[in-house]
Every structure is written in structure tokens, then in C-alpha cells.
Amino acid sequence: MNAIARFAMQGPRQAALMAVLFAAIPLMYWVSAAVVALVILRQGLSKGFNVLLPALLPGVAWYAVQQDITVFMVVLGSALMATVLRLSVSLPKSIAVSTLLGLAVVMLLPNLSPMWLEVLQKGAQEYSQLLTPEDPRTATMLTPWILPMLLGGIAAMLQLFAIGALLMARHWQSALFNPGEFSKEFQGFRLPIGYVVLALVVLFIGISSAELASGIPVMLVPLFIMGISVVHSVVAIKQLSSQWLMAFYISMLFFMPYMYALLILVALLDVMFNIRSKLNDTAN
């Protein structure tokens, strides 16, 4: 993958070519988003904008053909986060901004992508029918929350793609121009306490109001990323083998729902008790 970054850094034409090519290939749009983010991080907003515009064209084409806003939103969201990262030099702030992308998807998808909305409505109806025979009372209570949570889940997925593209771009930048810096930056990733409080407020409000429930998955995504950061940091502090990280990601592959919740809990514990700092003091 580093070869893509090297080629893109040779000039604006090469970067635009890579961005357009990968945006046009199904399921590879996150690479396009990473190329755009890399140009913004390394060369600034003006040159990044010159790559962003052609990179959005395949997204416009996908929307015209299939009413799919996925490519457009991920590329644009990653560019926004890269801009924040370049201006603030703060990875936590840039990833916190990803919530704007998630909330935008929640608001825009029902109106701009009727096909996606129809799929989500059908899925919510089928899930409600599965619950009804087993526990009609619970099914009646949960039904209003199913569709908003599914919508929030789709938004959170696109949010994760955009964050992944940003992290890939930051990794490329570090590998090409400042080796080893990204590892330290990611291992020290910690969300501001204000964001954590806001996320918990949205969580409790969403539980009590079905209309706002779609915001819950969106607000929890940065906490999930922070949980992954804690794992990487603990492995580095304890000087454990890279096989521990391999086992960790394999566990995520097979037990994703449980690992997702566990990593969010780990992030909250780190915010409250500063686990990494205590482990670092112990190691020293």
C-alpha cells in the first residue's frame, strides 16, 4: 500500500489519478479517501482541494446510477478530518469531527438514497417480526428503535471507513517522511473529556427517545477507535509480541459485536482511570 502513497506524492496528476481510480472501483473508495487525506496532510488545503474535486466525480456518478452516497460521503468526510488534523495537529480532534459525517449520513440518507432506506425499513420489519412470537411485549417496546439504530449503524460504518482512510493517510505520511511517528501518535490517542461526556449524554437521551437513537452508534465510533488505541498502547508498554495484536484483530473478526462493546468500555475506563499512564509508570 505504501507504493500507492509514493506514486501519489510524485505530483498532483498522479495523486488525482489514484484518487479517481480507487473511487471508481467498488469497495475501494476508502483508498481514494486516504490519497486525498494524504495530499491535504502533506501539501496543504489548496493542493488537496485540487485532488478532492476529481475524487468526488466517481461518487457523483455512483449516486446518479444507484443513488448511493457512500463514496461521496467517505471521501468528503476523510478530507474534512484531514483538514482538521493539519490545522489543529490533533488526532483526537480530527476523529471527533467524524461525528459530523455520521450525523450528516443520518440526515441525508433517507432523502437522498431511497433504495438504502427501503432496505433498512425491510430489515427493521423482518427483525420486528422475529421478535414478536418470542416476546410480543418486548417487540412492541423495541420496534420504534430498530430503524433508527439500523440507520445509525450504516452511518457509523461509513464513519469508520472515513476514519480508517484518515489513519491510513497518517500512516503513509509517517512512513514516507517521519518513520515511527504515527505509532506513537496513535498509541497516545485520547479523546477530550468533553467529548466523552457528550457521547454519554447522547447515549442516555437516545435510549429514552427513538427519534434520537440513530445518534448513538455515531457518537460511539470515536470511543471504539480509542479502545483500539488503548490495546496498541498496552502492547507497546508491556513490550509484548506483535502476535498479541494479531490475536486481538482475529478476535475482532470473529466476535465483532462483543469486541466493539468491550473496546468502548475499555476507552471509558481509560478516560476515568488513565490506565495507560498507570501502566507506563509501573513499567518505568
**274 located within any domain:** yes
The model's pLDDT over 174-205, given as tens digits with 9 standing for 90+, comes to 999 989 899 999 999 999 999 999 999 999 98
pLDDT of residue 58: 94
3-state secondary structure of 146: helix
Domain that holds residue 256: 188-284
The model's pLDDT over 13-60, given as tens digits with 9 standing for 90+, comes to 999 999 999 999 988 999 999 999 999 999 999 999 999 999 999 999
145-154 burial, b for 16+ CB within 10 Å, e for fewer? bbbbbbbbeb
Q: pLDDT band at residue 244, thresholds of 50, 70 and 90?
A: very high
The one-letter code for the residue type at 105 is: V
Q: What is the DSSP letter of 211?
A: G
**230 located within any domain:** yes
Summarize the confidence of residues 130-148 as an average pLDDT. Answer: 74
| Cβ neighbours around 95 below 10 Å, total | 25
Summarize the confidence of residues 6-15 as an average pLDDT. Answer: 94
Q: Which residue has the cell 476507552?
A: 267
The model's pLDDT over 262-275, given as tens digits with 9 standing for 90+, comes to 999 999 999 988 88
Cell of 248: 486481538
**211 located within any domain:** yes
Cell of 31: 483508498
Q: Which residue has the cell 479517481?
A: 20
State yes or no: pLDDT of 138 exceeds 70.
no
**Number of domains forming the structure of the chain:** 1
**7 located within any domain:** no
**63 located within any domain:** no
| Cβ neighbours around 242 below 10 Å, total | 8
The one-letter code for the residue type at 21 is: L
Question: With contact defined as beta carbons under 8 Å apart, do 190 and 272 qualify?
Answer: no
**236 located within any domain:** yes
**251 located within any domain:** yes
**282 located within any domain:** yes
The model's pLDDT over 69-110, given as tens digits with 9 standing for 90+, comes to 999 999 999 999 999 999 999 999 999 999 999 999 999 998
